Amino acid sequence: MRLSRFFLPVLKETPSEAQIVSHRLMLRTGMIRQEAAGIYAWLPLGHRVLRRIQQIVREEMDRAGAVEILMPTLQSSDLWRESGRYDAYGPEMLRITDRHERELLYGPTNEEMVTDIFRAYVKSYKALPLNLYHTQWKFRDEVRPRFGVMRGREFLMKDAYSFDIDKAGARRAYNRMYVAYLRAFDRMGLVAIPMRADTGPIGGDLSHEFHVLAETGESQVYLDKNLLTMPIPPVDIDFDGDLEPIVQARSAMYAATSDVHDQARFEAEVPEERRMSTRGIEVGQIFYFGTKYSAPMKAVVAGPDGKDVPVEMGSYGIGVSRLLGAIIEASHDDAGIIWPEPVAPFDIALINLKTGDAKTDAACSGLYEKLENAGKEVLYDDRDERPGAKFATAELIGIPWQVVVGPRGLEKGVIEIKNRATGVKEELSAEEAVNRFV
């Protein structure tokens, strides 16, 4: 992408309405634009990151055996009356009436709808286990939407739903999602800690929230520091194998949100130097809730003995749009965002120090073509601007690598590459530079 043809509305001033650094940086770099309280348009830079995060989540869900679908944002209130949640959900739910006076709602979550889909087609235990997921916009009329995409009213969530014939199967489904979550967050460059958590309006008796530690987090969390350095299950982990030891190894160490925190237990189980009490951003939550929806909604399957039983279910959410904020909170400096490579909007910022100089333009065009052909996403700063402004833009928007090309270097036969995270610079020939990235 040539910057001269891109749409990157960087603001000169830091927006004063934003209270936390991720919100400020997302507005400043033109990633998002607020359209109404808690409702955002995604501009090209933000949209690119959103897509990359969604793709990582998708790959890890697929690897864990979940199957992707896409359910609508609007739902019929009838389904929610069946489960009993229509009245229980309260003012966070956006209720809509159509021209025929039919009651609809903008889905805050999809347990009812997916249970309805399941019961329409699945009649036998032989089709189980099954896990259906989608990534779709949700609406929750939050009392205080704030911190930009961290607490929006309209936000993008990945939500998965598992169906099993018995508790043991549901536990295995839960463990698969637990491991998939560890892998997905790790791939985004995040340390996300699973914590024992309250089940809230989803209900049920087993749940973990995944938290990214950050001072600006809205939750108070308590944990054993050893959890910060636990190894992440590798890419070839066998999702059909026994994952219980992985879950147990973490669950054996104290980690809880304030809702379920037990100070006496914390002090008894964790030596003082390993106790950590800090703030966390909830980036995901997983629930096992058994037959809470399948029983009232009559989602039953015939078991091996031919008798109908309600399916055992769980649900598993990831805050895809919130993750952009969480990643920036965890990874920035005074100059701007530092994107972890797997989620960065571009891989490389190609900086032309003297646009209009024939030799420099030619060298940049050559590099641009080679890197793009090798599958790299390059943002080529071909604008007629001072070098200082180009460096500042590249730093601000956080592209992991800068490739800097100017007439003086070219005379010596070198260009410079710089790593955004470490600041380390190197001089290389153009060919060496290309080889570094391909």
Positions touching ligand ATP (CB under 6 A) are: 109, 140, 142, 151-152, 155, 157, 200, 282-285, 317, 319, 321-322
Question: CB-based burial of residue 103 (10 Å sphere; 0-12 exposed, 13-18 middle, 19+ buried)?
Answer: middle
Least distance CB 400 / ligand ATP (angstroms): 25
Give 64 or 197: the residue with its C-beta nearer to ligand ATP.
197
The interface with Mg ion within residues 371-430 (CB under 5 A) comprises none
Which residues have CB under 8 Å from 92's CB, separation 6+? 108, 140, 141, 142
Q: How far is the CB of 319 from Mg ion (least distance, A)?
A: 9
- Residue 331 within binding range of Mg ion, rule CB under 5 A: no
Instruction: Say if residues 294 and 310 touch (Cβ distance below 8 Å).
Output: yes
Which CB atom, from 111 or from 282, has the smaller least distance to Mg ion?
282
Residue 155's binding partner out of ligand ATP, Mg ion, none, with CB under 5 to 8 Å set by partner kind: ligand ATP
State the minimum distance, in angstroms, from the CB of residue 152 to ligand ATP: 4
Q: Minimum Å distance from CB 282 to ligand ATP?
A: 4
Question: What's the token pair of residue 149?
Answer: 């995409």
Q: How far is the CB of 410 from ligand ATP (least distance, A)?
A: 47
Which CB, 152 or 310, lies closer to Mg ion?
A: 152
DSSP string, 132-196: EEEEEEEE---SS-BTGGGB-SEEEEEEEEEEESSHHHHHHHHHHHHHHHHHHHHHTT--EEEEE
Task: Tell which residue, 282, 120, 295, 125, has the closest CA to residue 198.
Answer: 282
Residue 109 interacts with Mg ion (CB under 5 A): yes or no: no
User: For residue 326, which of 222, 230, 216 has the smallest C-alpha distance?
Assistant: 216
Say which entry of ligand ATP, Mg ion, none residue 283 contacts (CB below 5 to 8 A, set by partner kind). Answer: ligand ATP
Quote the tokens at residue 76.
Answer: 């019929």
Q: Are 105 and 95 in contact (CB under 8 A)?
A: yes
The entry of ligand ATP, Mg ion, none that residue 310 binds, CB within 5 to 8 Å by partner kind: none
Q: How far is the CB of 159 from ligand ATP (least distance, A)?
A: 7
Cβ-based neighbours of 168, under 8 Å, separated by 6 or more: none
- Fill in the per-residue mask, 282 to 321: x = in contact with Mg ion (CB under 5 A), - = not in contact: x--x------------------------------------
Cβ burial, residue 437 (10 Å; 0-12/13-18/19+) = middle
The entry of Mg ion, ligand ATP, none that residue 381 binds, CB within 5 to 8 Å by partner kind: none
The residue ranges that bind Mg ion (CB under 5 A) are: 282, 285
